[in-house]
Amino acid sequence: MPEKLNIIESTACPLPVENIDTDQIIPARFLKATKREGFGENLFRDWRYNADGSTREDFVLNHKKYSGKILVAGRNFGCGSSREHAAWAIYDYGFSVVVSSFFADIFRNNSLNNGLLPVQVSDSFLQILLTAIQAEPETEIRIDLEKQTISIGETGQSESFGISSFKKLCLMNGYDDIDFLVSLKDEIHVFEEKTGRC
């Protein structure tokens, strides 16, 4: 069961690259595990490390000045494969929120099912956010899930974001879809009978 989410206040890591696909987030060769834990180690593996295992100093997660629970990334984040390992890796690394101006569908669902909040903002707000973080890495970003707002500490600039009220309820209370679906057992059975499926 995911942890309950509501207010997240943290510094952030800027990754202004567009179309970041799930093969970059977690390459296929690290999907061989049969457990959910430990994928954070290989998050952005080939951007974070050289082939010989040494760290790539030019990559944002290796910059000492950036840290925090919020990843801010370019448009069309999480495109590609359905591997939930991508959401697990980001969460396992220590992020609670990914901010982008556009998310791929499956990645968005996978995140919501794991207590990782995808916050979709406008392209212009994303630019403001990235500029603020890059100018001052200590910038605090505040995300209020109940009010559905994201705001930038010093300047107070803010924007609201969308989320279905069902998913919001799930995230704020740590519920997941499986509990709900299992509670519908009788209705599912009625559907099967009505449509000749059993």
Partner 1 sequence: MSKTLFDKVWDAHIVKQVDDGPDVLYIDRHYIHEVTSPQAFAGLEKRGLTVLRPERIVATADHNVPTLDQHLPIRNELSRLQVETLITNCRKHGIGLYGLNHPYQGIVHVIGPELGFTLPGLTIVCGDSHTSTHGAFGCVAFGIGTSEVEMVLASQCIMQPKPKSMRISISNRLGKGVTAKDLVLYVISKLSAGGGTGHFIEFAGEAIRALSMEERMTICNMSIEMGARGGMIAPDETTFSYVKSREFAPKGAEFDSAVEAWKQLKSDEDALFGQEFTFDASDIAPMITYGTNPGMGIKISSAIPDEDEVLPNDRKGLGKALAYMNFERGKPIAGTSVNYVFVGSCTNGRIEDIREFAGFVKGKKKAANVTAWIVPGSKQVEKQAEEEGLLRILEDAGFALRQPGCSACLAMNDDIIPSGEYCVSTSNRNFEGRQGPGARTLLASPLTAAAAAVTGRITDPRTFL
Residues in contact with partner 1 by the rule CB under 8 A: 17-19, 21, 23-24, 27-29, 31-36, 46, 51, 74-76, 79-85, 87, 102, 104-106, 109-110, 113-114, 164-167, 176-178, 180-182, 184-185, 187-188, 191-192, 195, 197
Strands 141-144, 7-10: pairing is antiparallel
Our measurement of the distance from residue 183's CA atom to the centroid of its chain's CA atoms, rounded to an integer in Å, reads: 27
CB of 47 to partner 1, least distance (A): 8
Q: Which is nearer to partner 1, 68 or 126 (CB)?
A: 126
Strands 141-144, 149-152: pairing is antiparallel
CB of 38 to partner 1, least distance (A): 12
CB of 61 to partner 1, least distance (A): 16
- φ and ψ of 34, to 5 deg: -110, 5
CB of 187 to partner 1, least distance (A): 6
CA dihedral 125, 128, 133, 134 (to 10 degrees): 130
Q: Could you write out the DSSP letters of every residue in 148-182?
A: TEEEETTT--EEE----HHHHHHHHHT--HHHHHH
CB of 91 to partner 1, least distance (A): 12
Q: Which is nearer to partner 1, 3 or 180 (CB)?
A: 180
Q: Which is nearer to partner 1, 140 or 176 (CB)?
A: 176
Q: Which is nearer to partner 1, 39 or 125 (CB)?
A: 39
Sign of CA dihedral 114, 86, 164, 69: positive
Q: Which is nearer to partner 1, 135 or 165 (CB)?
A: 165
The size of the chain, in residues, is: 198
